[in-house]
């Protein structure tokens, strides 16, 4: 310290020393800030990692960019086989690939080492703490021989080291919360030093957490996929059951003499069939959240047309539907509504052999989806309130419209035009 009674030279020396300390402090602060910057940038990149980018490739590339003159090998831990599998290598060259082929009969990414071999290699208790599986960056004093956990003869590992001009080697495991997710090895070319150990170690901890997250994410995706398959399976069965009911009604109606009663049976049969078709769409659709409703309407309406309209020249069918995507919760009620409205046109609009057309429209207008069933027939009875009928068909339509929070409107200007307006909810 600056004591009184020191000579001028002594004071100058001390000042120089202080300056040097200050400078080195500044440098290390700069380095810390730079390291922080790299860490947070990498962390952000990991959060936004596109699904097609392999996380092991990403890790190898990041480390390769950071550590000059190095070869980086990143492996994953495969739990079922309890092995370490090399997944990504950065900095390899033709020579190394040839050597790998010669020695192991495969490329570097074919290398597979049982986890057991690492524990066996460090058989004494003291060393076990220092294995690469500890998550701490460890210098491999025994070089490649140690990397392969003694699985290759030392003579061969030495030869590879010399041929490839390999110097210092480091290794560690990706470890998070006591679980191993993989390993990474850093091979430096002779004469190079690993001078940013701390940053490398911090990055490796970050990567371990990222791999853990990625695996959890994949498991959730897998579980979701399974759930969707199960749901489709159920729709398939429901569809089959409804088809059975439909044919049952068909068989029974054959024994009914009275035409009116037979028609009731036929309509029930059609209702069961329409529902079956919805479930058929559901198990065929790739995305249960988004079902192509336009396509469904097309097939349902032509199907009804074939059963209900004996003479296609008398009633024309005009289908103008956009491919609107509809959620699974809306699609079932909507299918039944279409069934009722279209059946009504075919049944009531053209009595006594009259001719005309039936038109179906489906389109999206900003947030709203509009479904229109139009005919140019005799028109809806003046004395009937379409929102309060004693008959089942329109009652069903009104109830189902409420269920999907839609609006149901009638336009009697020309023939009958029913419009259903609803919104898809999140």
Ligand X SMILES: Nc1ncnc2c1ncn2[C@@H]1O[C@H](COP(=O)(O)OP(=O)(O)OP(=O)(O)O)[C@@H](O)[C@H]1O
Question: Which residue ranges make up the site for Mg ion (CB under 5 A)?
Answer: 344, 393
Q: Per rule CB under 6 A, is residue 356 in the interface with ligand X?
A: no
> Smallest gap, in angstroms, from Cβ of residue 234 to ligand X?
29
Site string for ligand X, 398-417 (x = CB under 6 A): ------------------x-
Binding mask 326-345 for ligand X (x = CB under 6 A): --------------x---xx
294: which 2 tokens? Answer: 């336009």
Query: How far from the centroid of its chain's Cα atoms is residue 348's Cα?
Result: 48
Nearer to ligand X, 146 or 416 (CB): 416
Closest to 86 measured CA to CA, from 178, 134, 148: 148
Residue that is written with structure tokens 């199960």 in the block: 230
Helix 259-284 and helix 328-344, axial crossing angle in degrees, nearest 10: 150
Choosing from 64, 182, 294, 377, the residue that interacts with ligand X (CB under 6 A) is 377
Q: List the structure tokens of 87.
A: 């997944």
Please tell me whether residue 253 binds ligand X under the rule CB under 6 A.
no
Q: 3-state DSSP call for residue 325? A: strand
Cβ 308 to ligand X, closest distance in Å? 12
413 binds, among ligand X, Mg ion, none (CB under 5 to 8 A by kind): none
Whichever of 356 and 393 has its CB closer to Mg ion, that residue is: 393
Residue 278 interaction partner, one of ligand X, Mg ion, none, beta carbon < 5-8 Å per kind: none
- 104 HSE (CA, 13 A, CB side): 18
Helix (H, G, I), strand (E, B) or coil at 411: strand
- For residue 54, the SS3 value is coil
Residue 102, phi-psi category: left (phi > 0), alpha (psi -120 to 50), beta (remainder): alpha
**What is the CA angle 47-49-51, rounded to 5?**
125
Residue nearest to ligand X as judged by C-beta position = 393
Q: Are 407 and 422 in contact (CB under 8 A)?
A: yes
394 forms beta bridges with none
Q: Please, what is the minimum distance in Å from the beta carbon of residue 341 to Mg ion?
A: 8
Shortest distance in whole angstroms from residue 375 CB to ligand X: 5
Nearest distance, CB of residue 282 and ligand X, angstroms: 25
Site for ligand X in 231-250 (CB under 6 A): none
Candidate list 21, 306, 381, 402; residue touching ligand X; CB under 6 A = 381
Look at residues 378, 348, 345, 341 and name the one whose alpha carbon lies nearest to residue 362: 341
Closest CB to ligand X among 292 and 340?
340
Q: How far is the CB of 349 from Mg ion (least distance, A)?
A: 11
Task: Tell me if residue 361 falls in helix, strand or coil.
Answer: strand
Query: Should residue 267 be labelled a site residue for ligand X when binding is judged by CB under 6 A?
Result: yes
Single residue of 380, 406, 408, 422 touching ligand X by CB under 6 A:
380
Point out which residues bind ligand X (CB under 6 A).
267, 340, 344-345, 347-349, 375, 377-378, 380-381, 384, 389, 391-394, 416
């Amino acid at each position: 310290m600056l004591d009184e009674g020191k000579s001028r030279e002594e004071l100058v020396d001390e000042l120089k020393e202080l300056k040097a300390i200050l400078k080195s402090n500044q440098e290390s602060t700069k380095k810390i800030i730079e390291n922080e910057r790299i860490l947070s940038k990498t962390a952000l990149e990991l959060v936004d990692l596109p699904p097609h980018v392999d996380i092991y490739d990403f890790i190898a590339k990041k480390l390769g960019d950071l550590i000059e003159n190095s070869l980086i090998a990143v492996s994953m831990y495969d739990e079922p086989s309890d092995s370490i599998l090399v997944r990504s290598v950065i900095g390899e060259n033709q020579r190394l690939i040839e050597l790998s082929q010669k020695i192991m009969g495969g490329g570097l990414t074919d290398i597979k080492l049982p986890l057991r071999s690492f524990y066996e290699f460090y058989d004494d208790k003291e060393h076990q703490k220092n294995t690469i599986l500890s998550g701490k960056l460890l210098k491999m004093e025994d070089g490649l021989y140690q990397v392969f956990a003694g699985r290759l003869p030392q003579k061969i590992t030495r030869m590879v080291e010399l041929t490839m001009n390999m110097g210092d080697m480091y290794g560690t495991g990706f470890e998070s919360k006591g679980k191993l997710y993989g390993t990474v090895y850093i091979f430096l070319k002779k004469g190079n030093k690993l001078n940013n150990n701390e940053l490398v170690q911090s990055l490796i901890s970050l990567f371990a957490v990222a791999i853990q997250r990625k695996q959890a994410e994949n498991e959730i995706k897998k579980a979701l996929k399974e759930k969707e398959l199960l749901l489709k399976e159920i729709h398939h069965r429901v569809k089959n059951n409804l088809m059975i009911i439909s044919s049952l009604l068909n068989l029974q109606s054959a024994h009914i003499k009275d035409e009116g009663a037979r028609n009731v049976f036929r309509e029930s049969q059609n209702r069961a069939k329409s529902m079956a078709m919805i479930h058929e769409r559901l198990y065929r659709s790739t995305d249960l959240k988004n079902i192509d409703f336009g396509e469904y309407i097309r097939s349902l309406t032509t199907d009804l047309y074939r059963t209900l309209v004996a003479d296609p020249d008398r009633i024309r069918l005009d289908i103008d539907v956009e491919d609107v995507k509809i959620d699974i919760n809306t699609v079932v009620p909507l299918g039944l509504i279409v069934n009722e409205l279209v059946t009504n046109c075919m049944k009531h609009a053209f009595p006594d052999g009259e001719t005309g057309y039936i038109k179906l429209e489906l389109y999206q207008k900003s947030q709203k989806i509009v479904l229109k069933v139009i005919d140019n027939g005799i028109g809806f009875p003046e004395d009937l309130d379409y929102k309060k009928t004693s008959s089942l068909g329109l009652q069903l339509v009104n109830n189902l419209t409420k269920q999907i929070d839609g609006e149901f409107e009638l336009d009697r200007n020309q023939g009958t035009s029913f419009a259903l307006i609803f919104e898809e909810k999140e």
